[in-house]
């Protein structure tokens, strides 16, 4: 599938000319591109670029007109990179890095100017090799562009993983987990792309979509299974949380769907709590509105215990890494028991993640853990598969 940001060119086709105003940079996907200077009569080649190289980025960085011209050398294919995509990163960069980049660009421009003034012979040029780091950055920029397209073309989809009440042994709720159905890479897990999305402002529209889609699905379950009392857990990202419109947005969504805020558990991780006062106020405001807030990945951060005393939560999720070692490591077993006991005192019910056997489920239940989630009960599955599961409403054996 060819996306609109991917472009095919014929031999000698001009991509841009010196002094043009530039609003795009390009990555060479196949073939070669020549960067050259011309004074109308004589032409001076500056470089020949090959697959994986980026060009046209200088005008995007410093806003000046193009300092050289570019054209296809034979047939070639390019990915274009928008100004927004780069400028966002540059604005966020360390001021010293920004200064260095601007100085380098200035130097390159001065060199190009000198070259135009004294046009030499037409030496043959080697295709320049990019360093490994440059290749990584280019890969990242391309991937980011793909994510933007994924959002536009509705390639994201939600899966839902049942959360079981370990006393009744039946489904109590779900965790909504995003998947990317990419035409190029297939079904991509969130660990691969959510980190990258989080580095850019793309995370906000993606997360807004996650919230709306999960709530819509949840409403559907409520309407179809009115006798089951269920909840929906939704992961919240850091940037989304600091969006000043966050509270307003999620309230509008649940109001439009006539959901109760208490139907929704917002999962926040310890990394998000590092930010202090603002986050604390935001969590309190959410809980005042009636939303449930769960502390996710408990025990993996630096100061898990201090978070419990500084913030108020409705649930605590023990990280899968603890459950994995529950049977093989005595210390881990002791820590899990201590967390569950502590949560009883705090009146914050525990959800254990990553349960892969009935024995683990039973043990956790006996320790007083309220909820369990894991492949033993069900992997994350799509919304239609959840409907089938709810029709059976199974009682799990633990
Ligand atoms: P998480 O919030 O800790 O989600 C639980 C992860 O553990 C999920 O991985 C789930 O599939 C996996 N898991 C659950 N039970 C088991 C088990 O028994 N065995 C094994 N091996 N794995 C189990 P997933 O779906 O790949 O998500 C990875 C992470 O990506 C999530 O970790 C969460 O941090 C992030 N994420 C996923 N969806 C979203 C989203 O919609 N928004 C945000 N902001 N982050 C998301
Ligand atoms: Ca989670
Ligand atoms: Ca987790």
Assess whether pLDDT exceeds 50 at residue 286. yes
| Nearest-angstrom CA–CA distance, 33 and 290 | 58
CB 130 within 8 Å of CB 55: no
Mutate to test the pocket of ligand 1, among 150, 160, 177 (most ligand atoms within 8 A of CB): 177
Query: Average pLDDT in the 325-350 region?
Result: 94
Assess whether pLDDT exceeds 70 at residue 128. no
pLDDT tens across 342-369, in order? 999 999 999 999 999 999 999 999 999 9
Query: What pLDDT does residue 67 have?
Result: 86
Assess whether pLDDT exceeds 50 at residue 187. yes
Query: Average pLDDT in the 91-98 region?
Result: 79
pLDDT tens across 251-262, in order? 999 999 999 999
Among 10-14, 42-46, 205-209, 285-289, name the one with the lowest average pLDDT. 42-46
pLDDT tens across 375-385, in order? 999 999 999 99
| Nearest-angstrom CA–CA distance, 356 and 156 | 27
| Nearest-angstrom CA–CA distance, 29 and 22 | 20
Query: What pLDDT does residue 332 have?
Result: 94
SS3 32: strand
Assess whether pLDDT exceeds 50 at residue 125. no
pLDDT tens across 26-53, in order? 999 999 999 999 887 888 888 999 998 8
pLDDT tens across 291-318, in order? 999 999 998 877 778 888 888 999 999 9
Q: Which residue's CA is the nearest one to ligand 1's atom 23? A: 354
Tokens of 359: 């024995």
- Which range of 3-7, 141-145, 165-169, 300-304 scores highest in mean pLDDT? It is 165-169
- What's the first-to-final CA gap in the chain, in angstroms? 47
Q: Is the CB of 237 under 6 A from ligand 1?
A: yes
Q: Which residue's CA is the nearest one to ligand 1's atom 41? A: 178
Query: What pLDDT does residue 308 have?
Result: 85
Task: Grade residue 284 by pLDDT with cuts at 50, 70 and 90.
Answer: very high
Query: What pLDDT does residue 129 have?
Result: 55
Q: Which residue's CA is the nearest one to ligand 1's atom 2? A: 235
Question: In this structure, what DSSP letter does residue 10 have?
Answer: -
Q: Is the CB of 354 under 6 A from ligand 1?
A: yes
Q: Is the CB of 356 under 6 A from ligand 1?
A: yes
Neighbours of ion ligand 2 (CB under 5 A): 235, 267, 296
Question: Could you say which ligand is closest to the alpha carbon of residue 357?
Answer: 1
| Nearest-angstrom CA–CA distance, 160 and 163 | 9
SS3 268: strand
User: Does residue 151 or residue 98 have the better pLDDT?
Assistant: 151
Assess whether pLDDT exceeds 50 at residue 121. no
Among 88-102, 142-156, 258-272, name the one with the lowest average pLDDT. 88-102
Question: In this structure, what DSSP letter does residue 197 have?
Answer: H
Q: Is the CB of 361 under 6 A from ligand 1?
A: no
Query: What pLDDT does residue 305 have?
Result: 84
Largest CA distance in the chain: 86
Q: Is the CB of 321 under 6 A from ligand 1?
A: no
Place of tokens 């009569």: 41
Residue 60 to residues 8, 56, 110, 158, 201, Cα–Cα distance (Å): 22, 7, 17, 35, 18
Q: Is the CB of 148 under 6 A from ligand 1?
A: no
| Nearest-angstrom CA–CA distance, 125 and 46 | 8
DSSP per-residue string spanning 92-140: HS-HHHHHHHHHHHHHHHHHHHHHHHS-------PBPPPPHHHHHHHHH
For residue 235, how far is its CA from the centre of ligand 2 (angstroms)? 5
Assess whether pLDDT exceeds 50 at residue 105. yes
| Nearest-angstrom CA–CA distance, 164 and 390 | 12
Q: What is the CA radius of gyration of the chain?
A: 27
Query: Average pLDDT in the 59-82 region?
Result: 89
Mutate to test the pocket of ligand 1, among 235, 297, 396 (most ligand atoms within 8 A of CB): 235
Question: Could you say which ligand is closest to the alpha carbon of residue 194?
Answer: 1
For residue 285, how far is its CA from the centre of ligand 1 (angstroms)? 26
Q: Is the CB of 278 under 6 A from ligand 1?
A: no
As a whole number, the mean pLDDT across the chain is 89
Query: What pLDDT does residue 152 have?
Result: 94
Query: What pLDDT does residue 117 have?
Result: 64
Assess whether pLDDT exceeds 60 at residue 390. yes
For residue 317, how far is its CA from the centre of ligand 3 (angstroms)? 7
Query: What pLDDT does residue 126 have?
Result: 45
Helix axes 203-224, 246-256, angle to 10 degrees: 30
Q: How far is CA 263 from the centre of its chain?
A: 25
Q: Which residue's CA is the nearest one to ligand 1's atom 27? A: 190
Q: Any residues with CB less than 8 A from the CB of 190 and at least 6 apart, and which?
A: 177, 178, 179, 180
Query: What pLDDT does residue 116 have?
Result: 65
Query: What pLDDT does residue 75 have?
Result: 96
Tokens of 220: 């559907």
Assess whether pLDDT exceeds 80 at residue 120. no
Task: Grade residue 119 by pLDDT with cuts at 50, 70 and 90.
Answer: low
Question: Could you say which ligand is closest to the alpha carbon of residue 268?
Answer: 2
């Amino acid at each position: 599938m060819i996306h609109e940001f991917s472009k095919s060119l014929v031999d000698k086709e001009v991509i841009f000319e010196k002094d043009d105003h530039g609003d795009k940079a390009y990555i060479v996907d196949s073939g070669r591109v020549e960067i050259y200077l011309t004074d109308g009569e004589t032409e001076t080649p500056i470089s020949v670029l090959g697959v994986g190289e980026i060009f046209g980025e200088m005008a995007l960085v410093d806003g000046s007109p193009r300092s050289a011209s570019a054209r296809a050398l034979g047939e070639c294919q390019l990915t274009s990179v928008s100004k927004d995509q780069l400028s966002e990163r540059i604005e966020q960069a360390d001021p010293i890095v920004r200064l260095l980049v601007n100085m380098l660009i200035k130097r390159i421009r001065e060199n190009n100017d000198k070259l135009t003034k004294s046009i030499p012979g037409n030496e043959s040029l080697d295709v320049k090799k990019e360093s490994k780091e440059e290749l990584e950055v280019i890969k990242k920029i391309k991937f980011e562009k793909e994510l933007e397209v994924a959002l536009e073309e509705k390639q994201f989809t939600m899966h839902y993983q049942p959360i079981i009440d370990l006393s009744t042994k039946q489904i109590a709720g779900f965790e909504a987990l995003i998947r990317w159905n990419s035409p190029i890479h297939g079904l991509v897990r969130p660990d691969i792309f959510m980190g990258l999305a989080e580095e850019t402002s793309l995370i906000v529209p993606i997360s807004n979509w996650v919230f709306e889609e999960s709530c819509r699905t949840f409403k559907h379950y409520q309407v179809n299974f009115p006798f089951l009392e269920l909840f929906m857990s939704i992961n919240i990202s850091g940037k989304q949380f600091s969006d000043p419109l966050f509270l307003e947005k999620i309230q509008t969504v649940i109001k439009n769907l006539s959901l109760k805020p208490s139907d929704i558990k917002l999962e926040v991780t310890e990394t998000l709590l590092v930010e202090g006062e603002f986050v604390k106020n935001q969590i309190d405001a959410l809980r005042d509105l009636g939303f449930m807030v769960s502390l996710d990945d408990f025990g993996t951060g630096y100061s898990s215990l201090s978070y419990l005393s500084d913030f108020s939560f409705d649930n605590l999720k023990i990280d899968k890494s603890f459950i994995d070692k529950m049977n093989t490591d005595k210390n881990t077993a002791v820590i899990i028991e201590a967390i569950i006991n502590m949560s009883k005192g705090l009146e914050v019910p525990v959800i254990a993640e990553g349960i892969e056997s009935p024995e683990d489920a039973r043990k956790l239940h006996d320790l007083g853990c309220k909820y369990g989630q894991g492949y033993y009960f069900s992997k994350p599955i799509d919304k239609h598969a959840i409907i089938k599961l709810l029709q059976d409403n199974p009682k799990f054996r633990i």
